[in-house]
Amino acid sequence: MSAGPLRASPRATPPAAATPPAALPAAGLPPAADAPARLRVGVIGAGRVGAVLGAALAAAGHDVVAAAGLSAASAERAARLLPGVPLLPADDVVAASDLVLLAVPDDTLPGLVAGLAETGTWRRGQLVFHTSGAHGLAVLAPAERAGVLGLALHPAMTFTGAPDDVARLAAAPFGVTSRPEHRVVAEALVLEMGGEPFCVDEADRRLYHAALVTGANHLVTLVAEAADLLRAAGVGAPGRVLGPLLNAALENGLRQGDRALTGPVSRGDVGTVRDHLDTLSERAPAAVPAYVAMAQRTTERALAAGRLRPLEGSPLLDLLQAAADVPR
Protein backbone atom coordinates (compact mmCIF):
# COMPACT_ATOMS: atom_id res chain seq x y z
CA MET A 1 0.00 0.00 0.00
CA SER A 2 1.07 3.60 -0.34
CA ALA A 3 0.64 6.07 2.47
CA GLY A 4 1.16 9.77 2.63
CA PRO A 5 3.13 11.46 5.38
CA LEU A 6 1.61 11.45 8.84
CA ARG A 7 0.41 14.81 10.09
CA ALA A 8 0.19 16.10 13.63
CA SER A 9 -3.36 16.84 14.75
CA PRO A 10 -4.25 19.70 17.12
CA ARG A 11 -4.27 18.70 20.79
CA ALA A 12 -4.98 20.41 24.06
CA THR A 13 -2.07 22.12 25.78
CA PRO A 14 -0.60 19.71 28.36
CA PRO A 15 -0.98 20.55 32.06
CA ALA A 16 1.70 22.68 33.67
CA ALA A 17 3.18 19.73 35.55
CA ALA A 18 4.06 18.07 32.27
CA THR A 19 5.46 21.18 30.55
CA PRO A 20 8.76 20.32 28.80
CA PRO A 21 11.89 22.47 29.11
CA ALA A 22 11.68 25.94 27.59
CA ALA A 23 14.02 24.97 24.77
CA LEU A 24 11.40 22.55 23.46
CA PRO A 25 7.96 23.60 22.20
CA ALA A 26 5.10 21.84 23.97
CA ALA A 27 3.76 18.97 21.88
CA GLY A 28 0.33 19.43 20.42
CA LEU A 29 0.61 23.15 19.82
CA PRO A 30 0.19 24.40 16.24
CA PRO A 31 3.48 24.24 14.32
CA ALA A 32 5.34 27.31 13.23
CA ALA A 33 3.81 29.06 10.23
CA ASP A 34 6.78 28.36 7.98
CA ALA A 35 7.01 24.62 8.81
CA PRO A 36 4.86 21.71 7.66
CA ALA A 37 2.60 20.09 10.26
CA ARG A 38 4.85 17.15 11.00
CA LEU A 39 4.98 15.00 14.13
CA ARG A 40 7.21 15.91 17.05
CA VAL A 41 9.05 12.67 17.83
CA GLY A 42 10.60 11.60 21.11
CA VAL A 43 12.94 8.61 21.34
CA ILE A 44 13.19 6.70 24.62
CA GLY A 45 16.13 4.34 24.34
CA ALA A 46 18.74 5.92 22.07
CA GLY A 47 20.49 2.61 21.57
CA ARG A 48 21.23 0.79 18.33
CA VAL A 49 17.58 0.55 17.31
CA GLY A 50 16.08 3.73 18.73
CA ALA A 51 18.68 6.14 17.36
CA VAL A 52 18.50 4.59 13.89
CA LEU A 53 14.69 4.66 13.72
CA GLY A 54 14.70 8.20 15.07
CA ALA A 55 17.10 9.19 12.29
CA ALA A 56 14.83 7.49 9.75
CA LEU A 57 11.80 9.42 11.01
CA ALA A 58 13.83 12.65 10.84
CA ALA A 59 14.82 11.81 7.26
CA ALA A 60 11.11 11.38 6.49
CA GLY A 61 10.52 14.95 7.62
CA HIS A 62 9.41 14.52 11.21
CA ASP A 63 10.92 16.63 13.98
CA VAL A 64 12.87 14.62 16.56
CA VAL A 65 12.65 16.92 19.57
CA ALA A 66 14.12 14.87 22.42
CA ALA A 67 15.70 11.55 23.31
CA ALA A 68 16.43 9.57 26.46
CA GLY A 69 19.41 7.29 26.93
CA LEU A 70 21.25 6.20 30.06
CA SER A 71 24.62 4.99 28.80
CA ALA A 72 27.59 6.88 27.42
CA ALA A 73 27.28 4.80 24.26
CA SER A 74 23.69 5.97 23.83
CA ALA A 75 24.74 9.58 24.24
CA GLU A 76 27.49 9.18 21.66
CA ARG A 77 25.14 7.40 19.26
CA ALA A 78 22.49 10.08 19.65
CA ALA A 79 25.07 12.76 18.93
CA ARG A 80 25.98 11.02 15.66
CA LEU A 81 22.53 9.97 14.45
CA LEU A 82 20.34 12.65 16.07
CA PRO A 83 22.55 15.74 16.04
CA GLY A 84 21.26 18.63 18.09
CA VAL A 85 18.58 16.53 19.82
CA PRO A 86 18.74 17.01 23.61
CA LEU A 87 18.94 14.05 25.98
CA LEU A 88 16.24 14.40 28.65
CA PRO A 89 14.50 12.28 31.28
CA ALA A 90 11.88 9.95 29.84
CA ASP A 91 8.89 11.89 31.18
CA ASP A 92 10.16 15.12 29.58
CA VAL A 93 10.62 13.28 26.28
CA VAL A 94 6.99 12.14 26.37
CA ALA A 95 5.73 15.61 27.34
CA ALA A 96 7.47 17.15 24.33
CA SER A 97 6.27 14.63 21.76
CA ASP A 98 3.34 13.79 19.54
CA LEU A 99 4.90 10.42 18.66
CA VAL A 100 6.93 8.47 21.21
CA LEU A 101 9.28 5.72 20.07
CA LEU A 102 10.08 3.15 22.80
CA ALA A 103 13.24 1.19 21.99
CA VAL A 104 14.17 -0.38 25.31
CA PRO A 105 14.92 -3.97 26.36
CA ASP A 106 11.95 -6.35 26.45
CA ASP A 107 12.02 -6.72 30.23
CA THR A 108 12.22 -2.95 30.76
CA LEU A 109 9.26 -2.07 28.55
CA PRO A 110 6.31 -3.02 30.84
CA GLY A 111 7.63 -1.06 33.81
CA LEU A 112 8.47 1.95 31.67
CA VAL A 113 5.00 2.19 30.12
CA ALA A 114 3.26 1.63 33.46
CA GLY A 115 5.50 4.10 35.28
CA LEU A 116 4.80 6.86 32.78
CA ALA A 117 1.08 6.15 33.19
CA GLU A 118 1.26 6.29 36.99
CA THR A 119 2.85 9.73 36.83
CA GLY A 120 0.19 11.01 34.40
CA THR A 121 2.77 11.62 31.68
CA TRP A 122 0.87 10.07 28.77
CA ARG A 123 -1.51 12.42 26.99
CA ARG A 124 -4.69 11.68 25.06
CA GLY A 125 -4.14 11.80 21.32
CA GLN A 126 -0.44 10.87 21.40
CA LEU A 127 1.00 8.05 19.31
CA VAL A 128 3.41 5.53 20.78
CA PHE A 129 5.11 2.55 19.21
CA HIS A 130 7.57 0.10 20.67
CA THR A 131 10.16 -1.93 18.77
CA SER A 132 10.05 -5.12 20.84
CA GLY A 133 9.54 -8.32 18.92
CA ALA A 134 8.45 -10.19 22.04
CA HIS A 135 5.64 -7.81 23.02
CA GLY A 136 2.47 -6.82 21.21
CA LEU A 137 -0.17 -4.32 22.25
CA ALA A 138 -0.90 -5.65 25.75
CA VAL A 139 2.24 -4.04 27.16
CA LEU A 140 0.94 -0.63 26.02
CA ALA A 141 -2.40 -0.98 27.85
CA PRO A 142 -1.54 1.59 30.59
CA ALA A 143 -0.82 4.21 27.90
CA GLU A 144 -3.90 3.27 25.89
CA ARG A 145 -6.12 3.77 28.96
CA ALA A 146 -4.83 7.34 28.98
CA GLY A 147 -6.04 7.83 25.41
CA VAL A 148 -2.78 7.06 23.60
CA LEU A 149 -2.83 5.21 20.26
CA GLY A 150 -0.46 2.25 20.66
CA LEU A 151 1.40 0.27 18.00
CA ALA A 152 3.98 -2.52 17.96
CA LEU A 153 6.46 -2.10 15.08
CA HIS A 154 9.36 -4.55 15.15
CA PRO A 155 12.12 -4.24 12.53
CA ALA A 156 13.16 -7.79 11.61
CA MET A 157 16.79 -6.95 11.07
CA THR A 158 19.97 -6.48 13.08
CA PHE A 159 21.41 -3.09 13.96
CA THR A 160 24.93 -1.92 14.74
CA GLY A 161 24.01 1.66 15.59
CA ALA A 162 26.09 2.98 12.69
CA PRO A 163 24.77 5.65 10.29
CA ASP A 164 24.55 3.15 7.42
CA ASP A 165 21.86 1.28 9.38
CA VAL A 166 19.41 3.95 8.20
CA ALA A 167 20.08 3.00 4.58
CA ARG A 168 19.69 -0.68 5.48
CA LEU A 169 16.12 0.02 6.55
CA ALA A 170 15.18 0.23 2.86
CA ALA A 171 12.64 -2.57 2.32
CA ALA A 172 13.44 -4.09 5.74
CA PRO A 173 10.47 -6.13 7.00
CA PHE A 174 8.63 -4.81 10.07
CA GLY A 175 6.35 -7.05 12.12
CA VAL A 176 3.28 -4.88 12.78
CA THR A 177 0.70 -5.48 15.51
CA SER A 178 -2.10 -2.95 15.81
CA ARG A 179 -5.82 -2.65 16.20
CA PRO A 180 -7.59 -2.95 12.83
CA GLU A 181 -8.65 0.69 12.87
CA HIS A 182 -5.03 1.78 13.42
CA ARG A 183 -3.46 -0.45 10.76
CA VAL A 184 -3.16 2.36 8.22
CA VAL A 185 -1.24 4.50 10.73
CA ALA A 186 1.13 1.65 11.59
CA GLU A 187 1.82 0.86 7.96
CA ALA A 188 2.34 4.52 7.09
CA LEU A 189 4.96 4.89 9.82
CA VAL A 190 6.83 1.81 8.64
CA LEU A 191 6.76 3.00 5.04
CA GLU A 192 8.04 6.43 6.06
CA MET A 193 10.99 4.76 7.78
CA GLY A 194 11.70 2.87 4.54
CA GLY A 195 10.47 -0.52 5.71
CA GLU A 196 7.92 -3.04 4.47
CA PRO A 197 5.13 -3.85 6.94
CA PHE A 198 3.62 -7.29 7.50
CA CYS A 199 0.99 -8.17 10.08
CA VAL A 200 1.55 -10.30 13.20
CA ASP A 201 -1.49 -11.09 15.34
CA GLU A 202 -1.26 -10.28 19.04
CA ALA A 203 -1.63 -13.97 19.96
CA ASP A 204 1.26 -14.90 17.65
CA ARG A 205 3.74 -12.25 18.76
CA ARG A 206 5.83 -14.47 21.07
CA LEU A 207 6.01 -17.30 18.55
CA TYR A 208 7.01 -14.81 15.86
CA HIS A 209 9.83 -13.51 18.04
CA ALA A 210 10.99 -16.98 19.02
CA ALA A 211 11.25 -17.81 15.31
CA LEU A 212 13.46 -14.79 14.65
CA VAL A 213 15.66 -15.51 17.66
CA THR A 214 16.11 -19.09 16.45
CA GLY A 215 16.97 -18.00 12.93
CA ALA A 216 19.20 -15.01 13.68
CA ASN A 217 20.53 -14.91 17.25
CA HIS A 218 21.14 -18.64 17.49
CA LEU A 219 22.68 -18.58 14.02
CA VAL A 220 25.35 -16.18 15.26
CA THR A 221 26.13 -18.56 18.12
CA LEU A 222 26.36 -21.54 15.76
CA VAL A 223 28.67 -19.67 13.40
CA ALA A 224 30.93 -18.54 16.25
CA GLU A 225 30.98 -22.09 17.65
CA ALA A 226 31.92 -23.56 14.25
CA ALA A 227 34.68 -20.95 13.86
CA ASP A 228 36.12 -21.83 17.28
CA LEU A 229 36.15 -25.53 16.43
CA LEU A 230 37.95 -24.82 13.16
CA ARG A 231 40.58 -22.77 14.98
CA ALA A 232 41.06 -25.68 17.39
CA ALA A 233 41.55 -27.88 14.34
CA GLY A 234 44.35 -25.62 13.11
CA VAL A 235 42.41 -23.57 10.54
CA GLY A 236 43.81 -20.05 10.75
CA ALA A 237 41.08 -18.24 8.83
CA PRO A 238 37.79 -19.99 9.61
CA GLY A 239 35.75 -17.27 7.96
CA ARG A 240 37.22 -18.10 4.57
CA VAL A 241 36.15 -21.72 4.99
CA LEU A 242 32.74 -21.07 6.51
CA GLY A 243 31.68 -18.15 4.30
CA PRO A 244 30.91 -19.99 1.05
CA LEU A 245 29.51 -23.02 2.89
CA LEU A 246 27.18 -21.03 5.14
CA ASN A 247 26.00 -18.73 2.37
CA ALA A 248 25.09 -21.73 0.21
CA ALA A 249 23.39 -23.50 3.14
CA LEU A 250 21.36 -20.38 3.97
CA GLU A 251 20.27 -19.79 0.38
CA ASN A 252 19.35 -23.43 -0.11
CA GLY A 253 17.55 -23.63 3.23
CA LEU A 254 15.44 -20.57 2.46
CA ARG A 255 14.60 -21.88 -0.98
CA GLN A 256 14.16 -25.59 -0.31
CA GLY A 257 13.57 -25.98 3.44
CA ASP A 258 14.37 -29.45 4.79
CA ARG A 259 15.07 -30.70 1.28
CA ALA A 260 18.33 -28.71 1.38
CA LEU A 261 19.73 -30.83 4.23
CA THR A 262 23.11 -32.47 3.63
CA GLY A 263 25.68 -34.10 5.89
CA PRO A 264 25.92 -37.24 8.01
CA VAL A 265 22.46 -37.00 9.58
CA SER A 266 20.77 -36.76 6.18
CA ARG A 267 22.63 -39.94 5.16
CA GLY A 268 22.02 -41.81 8.41
CA ASP A 269 25.78 -42.07 9.08
CA VAL A 270 25.69 -43.20 12.70
CA GLY A 271 29.41 -43.95 12.74
CA THR A 272 30.36 -40.42 11.67
CA VAL A 273 28.09 -38.84 14.28
CA ARG A 274 29.57 -41.15 16.94
CA ASP A 275 33.08 -40.08 15.91
CA HIS A 276 32.06 -36.44 16.17
CA LEU A 277 30.72 -36.97 19.68
CA ASP A 278 33.88 -38.79 20.78
CA THR A 279 36.14 -36.07 19.36
CA LEU A 280 34.12 -33.21 20.79
CA SER A 281 33.99 -34.88 24.20
CA GLU A 282 37.78 -35.03 24.18
CA ARG A 283 38.74 -31.71 22.59
CA ALA A 284 35.74 -29.37 22.98
CA PRO A 285 33.42 -30.78 25.66
CA ALA A 286 31.49 -27.52 26.03
CA ALA A 287 30.31 -27.94 22.42
CA VAL A 288 28.76 -31.38 22.95
CA PRO A 289 25.32 -30.36 24.29
CA ALA A 290 24.68 -27.98 21.38
CA TYR A 291 25.84 -30.55 18.83
CA VAL A 292 23.58 -33.20 20.35
CA ALA A 293 20.54 -30.89 20.50
CA MET A 294 20.94 -29.73 16.91
CA ALA A 295 21.61 -33.26 15.62
CA GLN A 296 18.51 -34.54 17.42
CA ARG A 297 16.30 -31.85 15.93
CA THR A 298 17.90 -32.32 12.51
CA THR A 299 17.17 -36.06 12.67
CA GLU A 300 13.56 -35.44 13.70
CA ARG A 301 13.01 -32.99 10.85
CA ALA A 302 14.73 -35.29 8.34
CA LEU A 303 12.40 -38.11 9.40
CA ALA A 304 9.32 -35.90 9.15
CA ALA A 305 10.38 -34.66 5.70
CA GLY A 306 11.06 -38.16 4.41
CA ARG A 307 14.79 -37.54 4.04
CA LEU A 308 15.47 -40.41 6.45
CA ARG A 309 13.66 -43.70 6.82
CA PRO A 310 12.74 -44.77 10.37
CA LEU A 311 15.24 -47.63 10.05
CA GLU A 312 17.99 -45.04 9.53
CA GLY A 313 16.77 -42.42 11.97
CA SER A 314 16.15 -44.60 15.01
CA PRO A 315 19.82 -45.56 15.57
CA LEU A 316 20.80 -41.91 15.31
CA LEU A 317 18.22 -40.85 17.87
CA ASP A 318 19.29 -43.65 20.22
CA LEU A 319 22.94 -42.57 19.96
CA LEU A 320 22.11 -38.91 20.52
CA GLN A 321 19.81 -39.61 23.47
CA ALA A 322 22.55 -41.66 25.10
CA ALA A 323 24.95 -38.75 24.62
CA ALA A 324 22.42 -36.31 26.06
CA ASP A 325 22.04 -38.49 29.16
CA VAL A 326 25.76 -38.39 29.99
CA PRO A 327 26.31 -36.15 33.07
CA ARG A 328 28.46 -33.09 32.30
Q: What is the pLDDT of residues 196-235, one digit of tens each?
A: 999 999 999 999 999 999 999 999 999 999 999 999 999 9
Angle at 248 between CA 226 and CA 171, to 5 degrees: 105
Above 50 in pLDDT, residue 10? Answer: no
Tell me the pLDDT tens digit for each residue of 233-250.
999 999 999 999 999 999
Structure confidence at residue 97 (pLDDT): 97
16-200: CATH topology is: Rossmann fold (3.40.50)
pLDDT at residue number 163: 77
Report pLDDT digits (tens) over 266-277. 999 999 999 999
User: Which range is least confidently modeled, 33-37, 93-97, 125-129, 288-292?
Assistant: 33-37
CA atoms lying within 13 Å on the CB side of residue 143:
31
| 95: nearest Cα among 70, 120, 115, 121 | 121
176-203 pLDDT, tens digit per residue, is: 999 999 999 999 999 999 999 999 999 9
Q: What is the pTM of this model?
A: 0.84
Asked if 46 contacts 71 with a C-beta cutoff of 8 angstroms, the reply is no
Burial 60-89 (b: 16+ CB within 10 A, else e): bebbbbbbbbeeeebeebbeebbeebbbbe
- pLDDT value, residue 25: 38
| Cβ-proximal residues to 44 (8 Å cutoff; 6+ apart), any chain | 50, 67, 68, 90, 93, 94, 100, 101, 102, 103, 104, 112
Residues 6+ apart with CB under 8 A from 142: 113, 114, 116, 117, 118, 122
Q: What is the dihedral of CA 301, 305, 311, 313, to 10 degrees?
A: -20
The phi, psi pair for 82, rounded to 5°, reads -130, 60
The SS3 of residue 66 is: strand
